[in-house]
């Protein structure tokens, strides 16, 4: 039997390297599942982008200054690569700030009311994309629509 002087240390290094690689793979898989799990983030990213266009705040930096929200938080709503780590509570906060800023952004009462309704409709579309309706509810609604 050959007794290598560093065989025990070599074995420990190999095990440590394998554990690091497995940890890296699991971390990557976890990030992927987070991004896939939050399908509503795609709807939210598109809705926020439309709001930015209507409010003429086209850059993420301008929008974050207006809302007093961190640029990194708003960059999670980039339509090209939305980040699934954004929470619904944060999105609710963004919408509440937008509603509060309506008076300063729109001077005319009619435009302010119109934008208010657009914001509410936008938030409702996001809520609907969070979890789809159960098939029984969909069938009930379709039956109700047919009978009208």
The C-alpha atoms of residue 140 and residue 147 are separated, in whole angstroms, by 11
Confidence of residue 148 (pLDDT cuts 50, 70, 90): confident
For residue range 25-71, list pLDDT tens digits in order: 555 555 544 444 678 999 999 999 999 999 999 899 999 999 999 99
The C-alpha atoms of residue 55 and residue 65 are separated, in whole angstroms, by 13
- What are the residue boundaries of the structural domains of the chain, listed by start? 1-37, 38-132
Question: For residues 21 and 89, which has the higher predicted lDDT (pLDDT)?
Answer: 89
Q: 8-12, 113-117, 122-126 — which is least confidently predicted?
A: 8-12
Is the alpha carbon torsion for 90, 93, 99, 104 positive or negative? negative
DSSP 20: H
Question: For residues 11 and 88, which has the higher predicted lDDT (pLDDT)?
Answer: 88
């Amino acid at each position: 039997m050959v007794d290598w002087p560093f065989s025990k240390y070599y074995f420990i290094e190999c095990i440590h390297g394998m554990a690091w690689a497995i940890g890296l793979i699991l971390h990557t898989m976890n990030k992927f599942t987070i991004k896939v799990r939050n399908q509503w983030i795609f709807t939210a990213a598109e809705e926020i982008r439309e709001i930015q266009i209507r409010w003429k705040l086209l850059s993420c930096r301008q929008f974050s200054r207006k809302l007093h929200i961190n640029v990194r938080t708003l960059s999670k709503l980039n339509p090209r690569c939305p980040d699934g780590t954004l929470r619904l509570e944060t999105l609710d906060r963004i919408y509440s700030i937008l509603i509060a800023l309506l008076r300063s952004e729109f001077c005319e009462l009619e435009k302010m009311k119109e934008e208010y309704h657009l914001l509410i409709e936008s938030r409702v579309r996001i809520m609907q994309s969070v979890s789809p309706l159960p098939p029984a509810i969909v069938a009930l609604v379709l039956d109700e629509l047919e009978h009208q």
